[in-house]
Each structure stands twice: as structure tokens, then as C-alpha cells.
Amino acid sequence: MSMQDHRQPSAYAATLPLRILVVESDVLLRRQVLLPALRKHGFDAYEAGSVAELYRTMLAQLFDIVLLDMHLPDESGLAVMKHLRAISNVGIVMLTDGHSRHHHAQILHAGADVCLDKPADIDMLAATLCSLSRRLRVRTSLPAATDETNMPPWQLADGGWRLVSPLGRAIALTAAERDVLTMLMAEQGQPVSRDTLLQALHRGVQGFDPHRLEMMIHRLRKKALAQAGERLPLLTVRGMGYRLACDGETSVA
């Protein structure tokens, strides 16, 4: 049986265990301290020892919170945090060796939800993770069976540069993706022809190759599923173009 099969009940454990990705370059700290302690408290804890491993893991799975080391071997933890904040609404808890108030304030202003000094007290860390999850309304706060007909629609935010899923997860968009989704949403479920989309893309993105439209639609669907865990109801209308289906046709992966 795996280590997670021996978890003990915890005052901090939720009905659906929080999925935590521990990104820490110190192997001993990661594997002998943080992972066992978090699993003992009832969390689903996973690991990454580098930024490259972090991104590979996040492409394959969804996480509620990332526990992020400030000092990583291949990239600054601060830069990683800013990137995560730009492409998702995952919770971010930063672990840092800096103890000054100015240092902590700088990290929080850059996008972290919480900043903790190393070595972090495990009981305090567990309580912080659960408190953060409630505030972010991550999936542990959702009903076990979600009635999709009552879920909000997919929406554009931040001037159209972010796509927000019915579960509240944000996806950063390129200029071309933004233009296409803006047009599709304006039609409220009605089809938009391929030629109309291409004309808009030629105006919005200089030198846009018409052959890239199908590939862009394919990548957009995959990105929504990978980053939000929800299927974007962007449907192909044979012989015409595309349409963004109504709210009830949205489904959770």
C-alpha cells in the first residue's frame, strides 16, 4: 500500500483531500519532512524538485495549492510565482529564508497568497493550507455532485485576456484566442463562420496564417482541459465554422 493509504484523520483534512504540489529543491526536506507530514494531515501531496518538473506535473494533474520554494535550481521562485499567477488561479504558498517584513511584503505584492519562513511549523502550515483553500473556493468547497445546469457560464475577464471557467479557474489567452472567443461569446451559442473568424484574426493579429485557425482551436480546447479540468464547449459546426455551446453543455473532466 502507498504512503497515502496510511493517512491519519486530521482536524485540517477536508472531505475531499486538498491536492498540494510541493516544489522544493532540497530532497531531504521535501521527501522526509514536508511530504510525509502533509500526508499525515490528510492532504494529497505531490512533489517537484525543479521548475521544469513543476510545469510537467501541472500539465498532467490539477492542484489546489502549490507550496513553492523561493530558491529553485533552474529559475527564481518569484518568477515562477508570477507565471503561475498569470495562467491560473491556483493557491500559492511561498516558503522563504528571508525574515524581514519588507521581504514578505514584496512576495505578497508579487502574487503569493501566503508567505511563510523556513523551516515552517507543520501544524501551522496545515492550518494555513486549509484556510487558503476555503478562501479561494477550490474544489474541496464544492458539492460532491455538481449540478452543471446551475453553474455560471464560461466568461472573459481582464479585458478578455483571461478565460474563466464555470468553476472559477482562470486561463491566460493569446491575442488570437482572445479575438476568437470574444466573437463566439457575442453570438450566445450561435455558429460563427470560419471566414468571419479569419477576417477578425487578420485585423487583430498581423500576418495570421489561415491554416493556423484549426490548430489554434485544438490547442485552446486542450489548454482549457489541462489548466481548468473542464471541457471548453467550443464545438465545430461541420461545413460552417465554430460555436461556443450554451451553459448546460459545459462538462467537468
pLDDT of residue 3: 38
Euclidean distance between CA atoms 65 and 123, whole angstroms: 17
Amino acid letter, residue 72: L
pLDDT (tens digit per residue) in 89-116: 788 999 988 667 777 888 888 888 899 9
Q: Which three cell numbers stand for residue 129?
A: 493550507
**Cα–Cα nearest to 191, from 129, 246, 152, 147:** 246
Q: What is the pLDDT of residues 150-194, one digit of tens each?
A: 456 888 887 888 888 888 888 888 888 888 898 898 888 889 998
Q: Where are the beta strands (DSSP E) in the chain?
A: 19-23, 44-48, 65-69, 91-96, 114-117, 155-157, 162-164, 170-172, 192-193, 230-231, 234-237, 241-244, 251-252
| Minimum mean pLDDT range among 61-65, 205-209, 232-236, 248-252 | 248-252
Longest dimension (CA), the chain: 62
Domains of the chain listed by start with CATH number: 3-141 (3.40.50.2300), 148-252 (1.10.10.10)
CA distances from 214 to 80, 128, 163, 218, 241 (A): 30, 44, 19, 6, 10
Locate 28 and state its grid cell.
531531504
Radius of gyration of the CA atoms of the chain, in A? 20
pTM, 2 dp: 0.52
Of all helices (H) and strands (E), which one includes residue 25? none
Tens of pLDDT, residue by residue over 12-22, are 444 467 889 99
> Amino acid identity of 133?
S
- Average pLDDT, whole number, for the chain? 78
246 band by pLDDT with thresholds 50, 70 and 90: low
Q: Residue 33 gets which letter from DSSP?
A: I
